[in-house]
Structures are given as structure tokens and as C-alpha cells.
Amino acid sequence: MTVTKLSDLAKTIRSKNAGTDKITFDIIFRERETYERVKRSGALTPETVCAILGIDQARLTDFVEYDPAYAIKFTILRLRPSGSPGDADIFGAQQYAPFLDVEVRDI
């Protein structure tokens, strides 16, 4: 069984604002084969994304496997609006780090 870190497979792993109340994540691959490998592995599903982020599944508003762009995209609700008191990441750009070390296992 081959195990590879998601950061070694993806061209882009990022997070950013999706309005004042949401953060969106994009995981984009260079080629279809790698994208399909990650999808088949089950490493990124609505359930695993919530577990990785340590959030309740009710906060996940969208989860899309977008085949034309070889991308997996998902959006979560923020705990507080962007820029409000107590918000530690106004741009939502620092939330992707937990996905860098996700292990993708071939099945």
C-alpha cells in the first residue's frame, strides 16, 4: 500500500474568505490521475474534512468534487464574522494547514 501526503500530490492547498461568515478551501491537482487517486482513497470526504478540522458537520455548507478543474472544494461556517472581535484570521488564509499532512492511501 502506498501512502503519500496530500501536500505532495496537490498543486494547491488553500483557504480564503467566502464572505463574512464562511471560509472556503480549495485542493487542486495538476492531473486527472492524481485527482482521481485522492477521490478513490476517501482521504477527503465531508466526514474526514470535519474530523480534520475538528468541527461539527453542521458547519460544512458545501463539499464539491469538481472534475473539470481536478479540484476538491469545501466551505465551512465561521464561528464569528470575519474581522469581528476574537477573529484570529480575518482573511481565512491560515486555515488550510491541517490538510498538508493528510495521508492519502492507495486502495
pLDDT tens across 1-45, in order?
A: 899 999 999 999 999 999 999 999 999 999 999 999 999 999 999
**Residue 28 lies in domain:** 3-99
The CATH number of the domain where 20 resides is what?
A: 3.30.70
Tell me the Cα Rg of the chain: 14
Q: Is residue 104 part of a domain?
A: no
Tally of structural domains, the chain: 1
Q: Is residue 107 part of a domain?
A: no
pLDDT tens across 50-95, in order?
A: 999 999 999 999 999 999 999 999 999 999 999 999 998 999 999 9
Alpha helices in 10-102 (DSSP H): 32-41, 46-53
Question: Which amino acid, residue 104?
Answer: V
Q: Is residue 68 part of a domain?
A: yes
